[in-house]
């Protein structure tokens, strides 16, 4: 049952891509914006809405400013990669497909203890929730496994099955590395072997300093307000474009502003300028944007709308 | 008669929902059977992470045929009434029977309900149970409409006896009931058929599934304690964790591993929290060092290397977790407590009650004011209150909220603060419940009281009182905490002297006190009798009085004296309302006509001279004893003397003498409130 062991971070990523491609997923590329998690990619956040079948897999760079540790912590990073799979409707053998992906990256099912431990997922900013598990391999959380029940306030019909792998942590485990920065990024016998630290140690320190102490909070706050206003402005436009005469609802441009607002909130949070009571209010404002985008998306073709 | 075997096989059921689900499953199916007329001998439910199972033994092969009779309208009743009756019983007019009754001819319907085979009843019942199962949280999956806790994959449903087994045919949203189950996800994933509960249970055991959660629990605990014992160690008991872990595995394999030396100096509570919450590990203590030095983890499978890889993985995860905890611990130790407190100025406690820093200032002021009352040094109490909430802004408490207070103590100790201050950081949250320990060190008591009193007066001021079952700020618990702190430390604090504590809040305290004392065996009427007395905002005094009174009314003298008091009071009330005067002028012995009257005069005088100093000394037992001496003279008085004498002067004097009894006893407690 055991596959040969991968030797680098990127090999694990490539194997996941190949595996999910073989299962019929469209292998997409990362969304080109700062996001807190793979879920924010429109391929998940929007495509899990509506009746149209969908199957996608992709890597999403994820930013969590508060988790910055200047590159010193063995496994906490403010910038990391999530591997995301979304299949709608969730296939009956989704658990088996998932376990197959672990075999594909070299986890020997005969030697390890894989467990599905209750962990319900909720994204207050996306107005979304689902039921599922965190998947443990020998006590280590290697993935989130969720059946989406609601997104943007809408019941998911059909239900999407979602997988999220924390790539660094999973790879460290598979490769037997104790500190993320020591992990081989490319093949250790490549002409120019690079570790994860060669690629990211410096940026982790730079961003940690900026996130925690330097980012101009007044500017961030203004950006947040701008993104919020722009999102609303975009969606306030009439459905029919006066220039082309076509029905064009600009969901994705509006949703970009929602992603922006969410990340700006995370940055403000890391700067410690948001009090406990204000927190809820900010989250509510981002959720209102996500909800408005969801409302608009279900009126588009990709959202299952038929003229 | 046959036995029913049911299994609902799904993706992993959350551990915390399993036991309840097994109970509900058994109840819903067996109730349904009985309602349909199918009685049975016995039933048992089982649950693992992937299956809910029910076996019902001795189920009737079919429900009995029943005959019922219903009386209808008279034959000459309006046609509409007869039609309605026919609709109700589902018969035609020809099928009705006509009987002669006193008032004329009446229709009767004889309804025969044919017995039905058990399989038919079960095939209707089980889908209904599945569709309406009371999961605390359920979900849909794929394109289906069915809700279950996680996707439901197969249903096993057979009726079996000595002659064989039959599948009960039904389907729920496309899942067709059959006779197949599956074993352990990794060890034995293939489906296999079963024809009885015994074969099912044995087949599962061969397929690496321990069906019975009690068996899994016992297995885990026995192996864990054995492994620890072999190394001269002991497992820290944790029933909640044991239940949870038994709900995460079908085939438990217990493994013990080491905690790296780097972490043995972390506070043991930090190790325990970190291992329990995140990893579901049991802590293993070395009794010689008193430290937690190893952990127990429970895997869900056997491996060729006896779990070595699994254990190594778990150890590595723990290392990372504890590195984090150590990082928090060391970071926190670098931050002066005053800086931690300063951060709380940005944290809102409640939008109408200001920030945590505002709250701390109020608590500190109150703690200083209370210090002399509880025998604490005011400066120490103030200092302790200033710092007691500091750890709320520590990294460790952010990560492990359940360690609040405890970390405060560690950080205060590390900062070299006086031990009383450090202890107060931990103990000021206590007592948290009716059985939690109550702090006794004066500084801790001062801060604990101030913390709770501030909370209560604060929420009272903004009118956020508990209503019915709603008590979001745990104010009942806070009031009980104050009560226990005062009583168990014998503290004399008139609550109305506390700033912001009004009569309404005082009566809330009294209500909580009644609940608390009722649990201690002091009846509510005794408390009411004491509540009417002066100084009722001093709960310690109140309880002293109530305790003495409760003991007194249980004695023979007490019971009889109470009767005497009630008699005196009744006579007085009647006479007073009739005469429109109050007989409280004091009686004069010169109008006394009999020896028993004289004796009562003397007894009252003696009692008064004893009761007054006893009450002043708050020696309620002595006051009760002095009252007890009144019993015989009062009894004799009622026996021999007619109150309503013909001579009005004598009558009024006697009524005034009763008034004396009321006054004397009324100084001790309000006996009108006592029942019995």
Residues B265-316: tens digit of each pLDDT: 899 989 998 899 889 999 999 999 989 999 999 999 999 999 999 999 999 8
* Residue in A89, A138, A147 closest to B139 by CB: A147
In this structure, what DSSP letter does residue B293 have? E
| Cβ-defined contacts of B129-138 (< 8 Å, 24+) | B129/B25, B129/B28, B129/B29, B129/B32, B130/B8, B130/B155, B130/B172, B131/B172, B133/B21, B133/B24, B133/B25, B133/B28, B134/B24, B135/B17, B135/B21, B136/B17, B136/B20, B137/A120, B137/A131
Query: How far is it, in rounded angstroms, from Cα B606 to Cα B275?
Result: 70
* Residue in A74, A111, A272 closest to B309 by CB: A111
Contact A113 B11 (CB under 8 A): no
Are B13 and B47 spatial neighbours (Cβ–Cβ below 8 Å)? yes
Contact A139 B279 (CB under 8 A): yes
Q: Name the residue among B405, B460, B397, B454 with its Cα closest to residue B431.
A: B405
Residue A188 has pLDDT above 70, yes or no: yes
Query: DSSP letters of A22-39?
Result: HTT-EE----SS--SSGG
**Residue numbers in A near B150 (CB within 8 A):** 131-132, 147
- Nearest 5°: phi and psi at B433? -150, 180
Most B CBs within 10 A among A67, A112, A118, hence the mutation to make, goes to A118
Higher-confidence position of B180 and B331: B180
Interchain CB contact of A1 with B (< 8 Å): no
β-strand pairing of B164-167 with B171-172: unpaired
pLDDT digits (tens, 9 = 90+) for B541-600: 999 999 999 999 899 888 888 988 998 898 888 888 888 888 887 888 888 888 888 999
Longest Cα separation, chain A: 63
Contact A139 B297 (CB under 8 A): yes
Interchain CB contact of A161 with B (< 8 Å): yes
Contact B150 A90 (CB under 8 A): no
- Nearest 5°: phi and psi at B319? -55, -45
Are A296 and A249 spatial neighbours (Cβ–Cβ below 8 Å)? yes
Q: Give the residue on A whose Cα is nearest the Cα of B325.
A: A73
Token pair for B643? 């109150």
Are B7 and B200 spatial neighbours (Cβ–Cβ below 8 Å)? yes
Total count of residues recorded for chain A: 307
Distance of residue A293 Cα from the nearest chain B Cα, in angstroms: 24
- What distances in angstroms separate CA A100 from CA A85, A161, B290, B300, B508, one per listed residue? 13, 15, 45, 19, 61
Query: How far is it, in rounded angstroms, from Cα B533 to Cα B666?
Result: 9
Q: Name the residue among B15, B45, B14 with its Cα closest to residue B28.
A: B45
**Residue numbers in A near B143 (CB within 8 A):** 89, 157-159
For the entire predicted model, the pTM comes to 0.79
- The answer to whether the Cα torsion of B35, B36, B40, B43 is positive or negative is negative
The band of A2, judged by pLDDT with boundaries at 50, 70 and 90, is: very low
Contact A173 B316 (CB under 8 A): yes
Q: Name the residue among A84, A43, A26 with its Cα closest to residue A302.
A: A43
Contact B150 A131 (CB under 8 A): yes
Q: Give the residue on B whose Cα is nearest the Cα of A155.
A: B140
Interchain CB contact of A100 with B (< 8 Å): no
**Residue numbers in A near B318 (CB within 8 A):** 139
Contact B143 A89 (CB under 8 A): yes
Interchain CB contact of A103 with B (< 8 Å): no
* Residue in B137, B142, B300 closest to A158 by CB: B142
Are B111 and B68 spatial neighbours (Cβ–Cβ below 8 Å)? yes
* Residue in B149, B324, B348 closest to A275 by CB: B348
Interchain CB contact of A178 with B (< 8 Å): yes
Q: Name the residue among A214, A167, A222, A234 with its Cα closest to residue A9.
A: A167
Distance of residue A42 Cα from the nearest chain B Cα, in angstroms: 20
Interchain CB contact of A248 with B (< 8 Å): no
Higher-confidence position of A3 and B538: B538
List strand residue ranges (DSSP E) for chain A, in order: 26-27, 54-63, 79-88, 114-118, 121-123, 128-137, 140-151, 154-155, 161-166
Contact A91 B14 (CB under 8 A): no
Note the Cα B525 to chain centre separation in Å. 25
Contact A159 B141 (CB under 8 A): yes
pLDDT digits (tens, 9 = 90+) for B600-639: 999 999 999 999 999 999 999 899 889 888 988 998 988 8
B535 Rama sector, left if φ>0, alpha if ψ -120 to 50, beta otherwise: left
Contact B141 A161 (CB under 8 A): yes
Total count of residues recorded for chain B: 676
Distance of residue B143 Cα from the nearest chain A Cα, in angstroms: 5
Task: List, as ranges, residues 257-286 from A with C-beta within 8 Å of B.
Answer: 272, 275-277
Q: Mean pLDDT, to the nearest integer, of B258-262?
A: 91
Query: How far is it, in rounded angstroms, from Cα B228 to Cα B235?
Result: 6
**Residue numbers in B near A100 (CB within 8 A):** none
Query: Position of tokens 């891509």?
Result: A17
Out of A81-85, A199-203, B60-64, least confident range: B60-64
Interchain CB contact of A131 with B (< 8 Å): yes
Element at A256 (helix H, strand E): helix A251-270
- What distances in angstroms separate CA A297 from CA A47, A58, A293, one per listed residue? 9, 21, 6
Q: What pLDDT sits at residue B247?
A: 96
Contact B14 A76 (CB under 8 A): no
Most A CBs within 10 A among B18, B142, B349, hence the mutation to make, goes to B142
Angle subtended by helix axes B556-579 and B631-640, to nearest 10: 50
Strand order in the sheet with B104-113: B66-74, B104-113, B97-101
Q: What pLDDT sits at residue A277?
A: 62
**Residue numbers in A near B250 (CB within 8 A):** none
Query: How far is it, in rounded angstroms, from Cα B584 to Cα B600?
Result: 16
Element at B52 (helix H, strand E): strand B51-59
In this structure, what DSSP letter does residue B505 have? H
In this structure, what DSSP letter does residue B260 have? P
The band of B491, judged by pLDDT with boundaries at 50, 70 and 90, is: very high
Distance of residue B29 Cα from the nearest chain A Cα, in angstroms: 26
Most A CBs within 10 A among B320, B335, B354, B356, hence the mutation to make, goes to B320
The band of B208, judged by pLDDT with boundaries at 50, 70 and 90, is: very high
What are the beta bridge partners of residue A228? none
Q: What pLDDT sits at residue A238?
A: 96
Most B CBs within 10 A among A113, A117, A129, hence the mutation to make, goes to A113
Contact B313 A109 (CB under 8 A): no
Query: How far is it, in rounded angstroms, from Cα A252 to Cα A43?
Result: 11
How large a percentage of chain B has pLDDT more than 70?
A: 100
Contact A113 B346 (CB under 8 A): no
Q: Name the residue among A302, A284, A298, A299 with its Cα closest to residue A126.
A: A284
Contact B310 A138 (CB under 8 A): yes
Note the Cα B186 to chain centre separation in Å. 41
Query: Number of helices (H) and strands (E), helices first, in chain B?
Result: 24, 18
Interchain CB contact of A113 with B (< 8 Å): yes
Residue A247 has pLDDT above 50, yes or no: yes
Task: List, as ranges, residues 179-238 from A with C-beta within 8 Å of B.
Answer: none
Question: Percentages helix, strand, coil for chain A, rounded to the nearest 5?
Answer: 40, 20, 35
* Residue in B137, B304, B320 closest to A75 by CB: B320
**Residue numbers in B near A139 (CB within 8 A):** 279-281, 297, 313-314, 317-318
Query: How far is it, in rounded angstroms, from Cα B2 to Cα B166?
Result: 10
Contact A130 B142 (CB under 8 A): no
Contact B301 A113 (CB under 8 A): yes
Residue A3 has pLDDT above 60, yes or no: no
Residue A1 has pLDDT above 50, yes or no: no
pLDDT digits (tens, 9 = 90+) for A136-182: 999 999 999 999 999 998 999 999 999 999 999 999 999 989 899 99
Interchain CB contact of A68 with B (< 8 Å): no
Contact B316 A111 (CB under 8 A): no
B459 Cβ contact partners less than 8 Å away, ≥ 6 residues apart:
B350, B353, B465, B473, B475
B214-224 burial, b for 16+ CB within 10 Å, e for fewer? eebbebbbebb
Query: Position of tokens 């400013």?
Result: A65
Contact B317 A178 (CB under 8 A): no
Contact B139 A131 (CB under 8 A): yes
Q: What pLDDT sits at residue B232?
A: 96
The SS3 of residue A303 is coil
The band of A258, judged by pLDDT with boundaries at 50, 70 and 90, is: very high
Are B196 and B165 spatial neighbours (Cβ–Cβ below 8 Å)? yes
Contact B313 A92 (CB under 8 A): no
Q: What pLDDT sits at residue B88?
A: 86
- What distances in angstroms separate CA B412 from CA B261, B384, B422, B559, one per listed residue? 25, 9, 5, 56
């Amino acid at each position: 049952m055991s596959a040969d062991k991968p030797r680098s971070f990127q090999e694990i990523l490539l194997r996941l891509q190949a595996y999910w491609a073989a299962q019929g997923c469209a292998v997409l590329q990362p969304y080109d914006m700062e996001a807190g998690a793979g879920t924010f990619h429109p391929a998940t956040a929007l495509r899990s809405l509506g009746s149209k079948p969908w199957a996608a897999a992709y890597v999403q760079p994820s930013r969590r400013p508060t988790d910055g540790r200047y590159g010193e912590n063995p496994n906490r990073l403010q910038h990391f990669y999530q591997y995301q799979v979304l299949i709608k409707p969730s296939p009956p053998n989704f658990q088996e497909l998932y376990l197959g992906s672990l075999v594909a990256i070299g986890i020997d099912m005969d030697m390890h203890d894989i467990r599905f431990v209750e962990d319900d997922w909720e994204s207050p900013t996306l107005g979304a929730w689902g039921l599922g598990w965190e998947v443990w391999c020998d006590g280590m959380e290697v993935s989130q496994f969720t059946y989406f029940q609601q997104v943007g306030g809408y019941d998911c019909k059909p239900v999407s099955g979602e997988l999220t792998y924390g790539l660094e942590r999973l790879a460290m485990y598979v490769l037997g590395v104790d500190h993320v920065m020591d992990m081989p990024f490319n093949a250790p016998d490549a002409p120019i072997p690079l570790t994860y630290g060669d690629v990211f140690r410096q940026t982790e320190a730079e961003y940690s300093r900026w996130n925690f102490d330097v980012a101009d909070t007044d500017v961030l706050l203004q950006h947040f307000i701008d993104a919020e206003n722009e999102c609303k402005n975009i969606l306030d436009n009439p459905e029919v474009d006066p220039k082309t005469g076509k029905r064009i609802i600009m969901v994705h441009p509006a949703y970009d502003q929602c992603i922006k607002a969410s990340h700006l909130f995370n940055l403000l949070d890391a700067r410690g300028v948001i009090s406990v009571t204000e927190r809820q209010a900010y989250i509510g404002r981002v959720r209102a944007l996500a909800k408005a985008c969801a409302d608009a998306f279900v009126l588009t073709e990709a959202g299952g709308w038929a003229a | 008669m046959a036995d029913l075997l049911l299994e609902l096989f799904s993706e992993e059921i959350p551990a915390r929902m399993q036991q309840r689900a097994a109970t509900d499953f058994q109840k819903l199916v067996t109730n349904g059977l009985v309602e349909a007329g199918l009685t049975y001998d016995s039933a048992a439910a089982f649950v693992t992470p992937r299956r809910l199972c029910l076996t019902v033994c001795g189920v009737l092969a079919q429900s009995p045929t029943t005959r019922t009779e219903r009386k209808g309208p008279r034959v000459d009743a309006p046609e509409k009434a007869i039609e309605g009756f026919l609709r109700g019983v589902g018969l035609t007019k020809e099928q009705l029977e006509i009987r002669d009754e006193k008032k004329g001819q009446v229709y009767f319907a004889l309804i025969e309900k044919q017995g039905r085979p058990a399989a038919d009843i079960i095939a209707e019942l089980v889908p209904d149970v599945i569709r309406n199962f009371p999961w605390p949280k359920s979900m849909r999956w794929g394109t289906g409409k069915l809700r279950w806790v996680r996707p439901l994959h197969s249903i096993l449903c057979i009726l079996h006896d000595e002659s064989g087994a039959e599948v009960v045919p039904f389907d729920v949203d496309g899942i067709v009931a059959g006779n197949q189950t599956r074993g352990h996800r990794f060890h034995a994933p293939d489906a296999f058929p079963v024809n009885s509960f015994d074969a099912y249970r044995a087949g599962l055991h061969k397929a690496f599934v321990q069906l019975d959660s009690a068996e899994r629990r016992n297995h885990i605990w026995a192996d864990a304690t054995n492994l620890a014992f072999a190394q001269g160690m002991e497992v820290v008991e944790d029933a909640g964790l044991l239940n949870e872990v038994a709900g995460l595995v079908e085939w438990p394999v217990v493994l013990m591993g080491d905690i790296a030396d780097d972490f043995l100096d972390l506070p043991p509570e930090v190790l325990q929290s970190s291992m329990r919450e995140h990893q579901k590990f049991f802590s293993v203590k070395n009794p010689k060092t008193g430290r937690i030095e190893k952990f127990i983890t429970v895997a869900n499978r056997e491996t060729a290397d006896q779990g070595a890889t699994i254990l190594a993985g778990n150890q590595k995860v723990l290392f990372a977790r504890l590195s984090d905890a150590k990082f928090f611990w060391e970071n926190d130790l670098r931050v002066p407590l005053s800086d931690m407190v300063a951060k709380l100025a940005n944290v809102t406690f409640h939008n109408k009650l200001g920030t945590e820093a505002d709250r701390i200032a109020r608590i500190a002021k109150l703690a200083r004011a209370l210090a002399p009352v509880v025998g604490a040094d005011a400066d120490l109490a103030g200092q302790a209150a200033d710092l007691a909430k500091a750890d709320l802004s520590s990294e460790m408490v952010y990560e492990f909220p359940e360690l609040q207070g405890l970390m405060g103590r560690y950080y205060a100790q590390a900062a070299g603060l006086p031990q009383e201050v450090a202890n107060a950081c931990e103990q000021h949250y206590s007592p948290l419940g009716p059985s939690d320990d109550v702090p006794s060190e004066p500084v801790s008591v001062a801060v604990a009281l101030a913390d709770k009193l501030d909370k209560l007066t604060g929420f009272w001021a903004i009118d956020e009182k508990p209503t019915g079952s709603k008590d979001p700020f745990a104010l009942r618990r806070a009031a009980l905490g104050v009560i226990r702190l005062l009583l168990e430390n014998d503290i004399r604090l008139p609550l109305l002297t506390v700033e912001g504590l009004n009569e309404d809040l005082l009566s809330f305290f009294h209500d909580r006190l009644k609940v608390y004392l009722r649990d201690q065996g002091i009846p509510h009427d005794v408390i009411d009798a004491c509540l009417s007395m002066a100084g009722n905002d001093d709960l310690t005094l109140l309880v002293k009085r109530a305790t003495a009174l409760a003991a007194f009314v249980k004695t023979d003298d007490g019971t009889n004296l109470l009767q005497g008091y009630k008699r005196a009071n009744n006579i007085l009330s009647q006479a007073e309302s009739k005469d429109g005067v109050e007989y409280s002028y004091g009686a004069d012995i010169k109008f006394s006509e009999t020896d028993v009257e004289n004796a009562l005069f003397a007894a009252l005088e003696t009692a008064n001279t004893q009761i007054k100093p006893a009450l002043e000394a708050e020696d309620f037992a002595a006051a009760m004893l002095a009252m007890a001496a009144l019993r015989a003279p009062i009894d004799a008085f009622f026996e021999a003397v007619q109150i309503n004498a013909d001579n009005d002067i004598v009558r009024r004097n006697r009524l005034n003498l009763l008034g004396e009894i009321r006054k004397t006893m009324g100084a001790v407690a309000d006996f009108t409130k006592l029942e019995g």
